[in-house]
Structure 1
Amino acid sequence: MSVAIENFVKAIYKSKINDITDTKPGNIAKLLGISNAAATDMAKSLAAKNLVDYQKYKALQLTDEGEKLALKVIRKHRLWEAFLHKTFDMSLHEIHREAELLEHETSDFLANTISAFLGNPKFDPHGDPIPNENGEITTKDTSVSLSKTKENKTYIIARLMSDDKEFFDFCAINGLKYGNKLTVIKQFSKNKMTQISINNNTILLNQDFTKIIYVNETD
């Protein structure tokens, strides 16, 4: 499959799973930086390949084959992120940027080899689940966004759902890392801000951050 096709089905899958936006061609076009016409043409082409269910003016749906392809690409992407982070200690933004390129040049054999080398990890360094070699996500996601947490509770960071460099730079500086603990001090619901304590520092985060930082409550 071409890079354009792999990116298209991946965008549909991630939009639906992460509930970021609906999957009409115009919204997928914005995510990929292409024209609405190009997105519609791609959707029609993929419908002919039985990868996408396309109906005019409606959200795009992946077929079983389309979802299988999307998960295969996502598996390769997240395995590369785990490998680059572990081997070269690259930043979260750097591993995402490089994995975007490497995912399209990776055979199933190499992906499985990388997975075995890493001990078959179930999560990447952002906390995102890594599909297994059968294209299945076997982990159960119980995390909630930081914006929906309760005051005076301690949580473990489960996912950092972004690809923005400044966001990851901020996270690195303040210890907001997958697996680290934080305590929610106060929720400012009217102003949509959350005050947390992490590594003996107090930080006030706005909704742009709290809606993409996901956490699990500690036992």
Structure 2
Amino acid sequence: MSVAIENFVKAIYKNGKHDDNDTKPGNIAKKLGISNAAATDMAKSLANKNLINYEKYKALELTEEGEKLALKVIRKHRLWEAFLYKTLEMSLHEIHREAEFLEHETSDFLADKISEYLGNPKFDPHGDPIPNADGEITTKDNSTTLSKTKEGKSYIISRLMSDDKEFFDFCAQNGLKYGNKIFVSKQFSKNKMTQININSNTILLNEDFTKIIYVNEIQ
């Protein structure tokens, strides 16, 4: 498959997993930085290849074959992120940027070798689940966004869902890392802000951040 096709089905899959996105061609075009017309043409082409279901003015849906392809690309991407983070100690933004290129040049054989070398990880350094060799995500996600947490509760950061460099730089500077513990000291519901304590520091985050930081409550 071409890079363009792999990126298109991956975008549909990932947009479909986000609460605030949908998979209409216009949204996929925006995500990929292409024109609406180009997205529509690609959608029609992939429908002919039985990778997506296309209906004018409707959200795009992956077929079983299309989802399998998307998960195969995502597996390679997230394995590369885990490998680069562990072996080269690259930043969260850097590993995402490089994995965007490497995912398309990686054979299934090499992906399996990387997974074996890393101990077959279930999650990448952002907290995103890594599909197995059969294209299945075997982990359960019980996390919630930081914006929906309760005051006076402690949580573990389970996912940083972004590809923005400034966001990751901020997280690195403030200890907001997958697996780290935080305490929610205040929810400012009217102003859509959340105050947390981490590593003896108090941080006030706006909704732009709290909607893309996922956590699990510590029982």
Tell me, yes or no, if structure 1 residue 215 matches structure 2 residue 201. Answer: no
Displacement, 1:19? 2.6
SS at match of 1:56: coil
Task: Report SS of the residue matched to 1:57.
Answer: coil
| Aligned 1:5-44 pairs, distance under 5 A | 5-44=5-44
**TM-score, scaled relative to structure 1:** 0.99
Ranges in structure 1 where 5+ consecutive residues have no aligned partner: none
- Give the deviation of 1:134 after TM superposition: 0.2
User: Which structure 2 residues correspond to residues 46-195 of structure 1 after superposition, within 5 A?
Assistant: 46-195=46-195
Q: Distance in 2 between matches of 1:120 and 1:96?
A: 19
- Alpha-carbon deviation of 1:22? 1.2
Per the TM alignment, residue 29 of structure 1 is displaced from its structure 2 partner at its CA by 0.4
Helix, strand or coil at the partner of 2:72: helix
The residue type paired with residue 205 of structure 1 is L
Alpha-carbon distance in 1 for matches of 2:74, 2:118 = 17
Output one character per residue of 1:47-80: Cα deviation in whole Å (capped at 9) or x when no partner. Answer: 0000010001100000000000000000000000
Q: Distance in 2 between matches of 1:38 and 1:196?
A: 43
Percent identical pairs in the alignment equals 83
Letter in 1 for 2:171: C
Instruction: Please give the alpha-carbon distance, in whole angstroms, between the structure 1 residues aligned to 2:208 and 2:125.
Output: 21
Distance 2:2 2:122 in 1: 27
SS of equivalent to 2:203 = strand
Cα distance in 2 between the residues matched to 1:21 and 1:174: 28
Question: Per the alignment, in what secondary structure is the counterpart of residue 129 of structure 2?
Answer: coil
Instruction: Tell me the SS of whatever aligns to 1:19.
Output: coil
* Structure 2 gap segments, 5+ residues each: none
C-alpha distance in structure 2 between counterparts of 1:127 and 1:107, whole Å: 24
Query: Matched residues in 2 for 1:22 and 1:85: separation?
Result: 30
Aligned positions, number: 219
Amino acid at match of 1:198: I
Structure 2 distance, partners of 1:50, 1:189, is 45
Alignment-mate amino acid for residue 77 of structure 1: H
Render the CA deviation track for 1:128-149: whole Å, top value 9, x for unaligned.
Answer: 0000000000000000000000
Distance 1:20 1:121 in 2: 28
Structure 1's consecutive aligned runs of 4 or more residues displaced over 4 angstroms after TM superposition are none
The amino acid of 1:79's aligned partner reads L
- Cα distance in 2, alignment partners of residues 17 and 111 from structure 1: 23
Rounded Cα–Cα distance in structure 2 between residues aligned with 1:78 and 1:56? 33
Describe the SS at the equivalent of 1:26: helix
